[in-house]
Amino acid sequence: MNQIKQATIYIGLNDSKTGKQIHDTEKYISILKNVCRSYHVPFSMNQLQGGYFHEDGRYVEENTLTLMMLDVPDETVHEIAKDLCAFFHQESVMIQSSPAEVCFIHEDI
């Protein structure tokens, strides 16, 4: 097993100004894929639904995309997060990082 860094970016899909999702989820997924392609980073992504409380106490539910990357430099993760924050019109996006143990299993034929 090799230990590497795993970074996950959580991007909500509700627009920061209107509080509503403006485009269909597939459009956001397409943007996310194009951003990863332009940075030349391998990734996995998931669609989630979640809720959170604003600082003023309002509860919000929204669709969320998660972008998981392995062994990508911190500065690249932060650049991608800033791009996605801007492209998706978000007040902020969240980065979660942690060490991960990975191994690749191959089938011998």
Picking from 94, 74, 90, the residue whose alpha carbon sits closest to that of residue 8 is: 94
> Binning pLDDT at 50, 70 and 90, where does residue 20 land?
very high
Say what the pLDDT of residue 28 is: 97
What ranges make up the beta strands (E) of the chain? 2-12, 44-53, 59-70, 94-102
Picking from 18, 3, 12, the residue whose alpha carbon sits closest to that of residue 70 is: 3
Please give the structure tokens belonging to residue 10.
Answer: 């959580």
Say what the pLDDT of residue 1 is: 85
Q: Which residues contact 76 (CB under 8 A, 6 or more apart)?
A: 39, 41
In this structure, are residues 79 and 9 in contact, taking their beta carbons and an 8 Å threshold? no
CA distance 1 to 78: 27
Model confidence pLDDT, tens digit, residues 33-75: 999 999 999 999 999 999 988 888 989 899 999 999 999 999 9
In this structure, are residues 2 and 102 in contact, taking their beta carbons and an 8 Å threshold? yes
Instruction: Give the chain's domains with CATH numbers.
Output: 2-102 (3.30.70.120)
